A and B are shown apart, each in its own frame.
Chain A
Amino acid sequence: MKNKTLATVTLVVLAGCAAESARQDASTPSPQQVKAVLEASFMARGQAKLDRLTQDEVQLLCSQVRPDKPIAPEEAQRIVQSQQATLRYPAGSLMGDWKSGEKVAQQGTGKQYSDDPAHPSGANCYACHQLSPGEVSYGTIGPSLYRFGATHGYTAEMQKYVYGKVYNSEAFSACSTMPRFGHMGILTEQQIKDVVALLMDPKSPVNQ
């Protein structure tokens, strides 16, 4: 038995003694084993180094979520709490320029190994959300945000909610599919303000 287990690890790569216990229960590999295989299977390229395979608390916990197994309430609360603590709001107005926000929402590049790290990243909002009615090519992974400001009111409180949600979605909804644009350094403060304006400026096409 022992020999067999050792032979088996060519695929799973050596992940220390965790292999022994994992073999007992339906051969589900441990997170450490999975990570070891990933590290043996990926190569650093461009700006995407191998450290991107190292998970933070949110990523680790949310990797256990399955279609039929949502995150446990106490873990969800832990995530929301820890991520609330990361929120940073700029002094002064949270509203930038909706026209720039539309560009950020359209742009899908940024942070890929094929992207030039000197160029600012986009938010690619349209990949998942409907926003301006003029853009028919929008995704449905997230809810439609068409008429967001008009529907929810052009209040300072709502601006703050939108800024925070874009900055770190996990602070509001544990294991959200939406990236943590501010917290993970994808978007700059100005870019987030521009996206807030896209949703919250009464003149933005989103609200027409």
Chain B
Amino acid sequence: MRPKRIAAAALAAGILSAGLALAQDKDSTSRQIERYREALADGNPAELWEARGESLWKEKRGPKAASLERCDLGLGPGVVKGAYTVLPKYFADTGKVEDLESRLVTCMVALQGFTPEQAKKDPFGGPGKKVPMDALVAYIASESRGMPMHVSIANPKEREAYELGRQIFFYRGGPHDFACASCHGAEGKRIRLQDLPNLTNPADARRAYTTWPAYRVSQGEVRSMQWRLNDCFRQQRFPELEFTSPASIALSLYLARTAEGGVMDAPAIKR
């Protein structure tokens, strides 16, 4: 056993020095990618979603022909400004911790008379398929732009969800042994050319969390945090994360709490 270990260590050292030789090359690539992102920042198509979301918020929809304007997103009925910064949170009326998407489902059911199945159907848009959820999320998040994240873990259920979210973050499984932490648990890493935020570190977590939802240029869609988590688990080779499931909300709360104090700048524009 022992000699083998030493050989492996020597190997690792050699590999590291080879990597340094090319560090300069890598920097110029990163600079170019930075320029690319800057060029896109002015003129974010997410604005189209925000506008559609605002109309949907005010539109009388569903069997009860009611708007969502009386929906309590955590700061009182009808308060949209700043609501994204306090979510997920515990709601006494449902007795549950809810994130923005699950709270919207709650309101669509309670105020507009949709069934939960109807409210949760088609949570993510796609080519030629526009869905209300993406637009509502874009609009509500945009109303927190410039405001700091401040989620609570004071309530025992919030505390519990937070702890659970943290455990899920490190849960390794599937054929590839991946956990969220495999890609998002260390400083200064990237996958292909994409920088990976270390989501256990507040500075990185703030930068990452406050830029979702985001317009993904690769897909031409605004993607929500629920989508982000769903697609991360797909790439982790897990089964499909169910929309607004307990695990998704717990994980969101863990990430949001780690990003405490981060100033919202969403919807952002990303690769």
Chain A interface residues toward B at CB < 8 A: 4, 7-8, 10-13, 26-29, 31, 33-34, 37-38, 40-45, 48-50, 52-55, 58-59, 62-67, 77, 80-81, 111-114, 126-128, 130, 133, 136-141, 143-148, 151-152, 161, 170, 172-173, 177, 179-180, 184-186
Contact = CB atoms under 8 A, between A and B. Distances in A.
Interface string B57-100: 00000000000000000000000000000000000000111000
A184 B175 contact: yes
Given A38-B247, A143-B16, A27 B159 contact: yes
A31 B166 CA distance: 12
Given A37-B168, A37-B250, A161-B7, A59 B239 contact: no
A42 B239 contact: yes
Contact of B175 (A31, A40, A43, A186): A186
A190 B11 CA distance: 24
Scoring A8, A112, A172 by chain B CB atoms within 10 A of each residue's CB, the highest score goes to: A112
B192 A127 contact: yes
Top-8 shortest CB links A-B: A144-B19, A41-B247, A41-B245, A143-B15, A45-B240, A179-B176, A42-B239, A59-B172
Contacts of B161: 11
Using C-beta atoms within 8 Å of the partner chain, give the interface range for chain B.
35 or more
Contacts of A49: 239
Contacts of A81: 1
Given A8-B157, A41-B245, A137-B193, A55 B18 contact: no
B270 interface: no
A34 B168 contact: yes
Nearest to A68: B200
A184 B234 CA distance: 17
A66 B166 CA distance: 10
B92 to A, nearest CB: 12
